Amino acid sequence: MELARRLSVAGWVLGVLGLLLVAGSVLGARAGRERVVVEGESMTPTYAVGDKVVVDESVDGNEVRRGDVVLFSAPEVQGFDALVVKRVIGVGGDRVECCAGTGAGQRLLVDGRPLEEPYVADGIVDGRGPGGVNEPYVVQVPEGRLFVLGDRRSNSNDSRFYQGGQGGTVPVAAVRGRVVDGWRAPVALIVLGLVGLALGLAGLVAAAGARQVRRRGALPEPPWPVGPLGV
CATH of the domain at 143: 2.10.109.10
Nearest residue to 119 (alpha-carbon basis) of 68, 172, 74: 68
* 129 and 150 co-located in one domain: yes
Pick the catalytic residue from 8, 42, 156, 159: 42
User: What is the predicted pLDDT for the residue at 224?
Assistant: 47
Per-residue pLDDT, 21: 59
Number of domains forming the structure of the chain: 2
Annotated catalytic, 86? yes
Q: What is the pLDDT of residues 24-33, one digit of tens each?
A: 555 555 555 6
pLDDT band for position 231 (cuts 50, 70, 90): very low
List the end-to-end C-alpha distance of the chain, in Å, as a whole number: 33
Question: Exactly one of 86, 154, 156, 159 is catalytic; which is it?
Answer: 86
Same domain, 82 and 132: yes
Is 129 found in the same domain as 85? yes
Residue 205 pLDDT more than 80?
A: no
Q: Which domain holds residue 85?
A: 32-180
Q: Are residues 51 and 111 in the same domain?
A: yes
Q: 72 and 175 share a domain?
A: yes
Beta strands in the chain, from DSSP E residues, in sequence order: 33-37, 52-56, 69-72, 84-90, 95-100, 107-110, 113-115, 137-140, 145-149, 170-171, 175-180
User: 107-110 and 113-115: which strand pairing?
Assistant: antiparallel
161 and 50 belong to one structural domain: yes
Q: Is residue 219 part of a domain?
A: no
- Whether 150 is in a domain gets the answer yes
Do 120 and 102 share a structural domain?
yes
Tell me the average pLDDT across 100-116. Answer: 91
pLDDT band (50, 70, 90) for residue 216: confident
Exposed (0-12), middle (13-18) or buried (19+): which is 57, by Cβ within 10 Å? middle
Same domain flag for 25 and 42: no
Q: Which of 121, 107, 123 is nearest to 44 (CA)?
A: 121
- Are 99 and 52 in the same domain? yes
User: Is 159 a catalytic site residue?
Assistant: no
Q: CA geometry: angle at 171 spanning 182 and 127, to 5°?
A: 75
| Residue 190 resides in a domain | yes
Q: What pLDDT is attached to residue 24?
A: 59
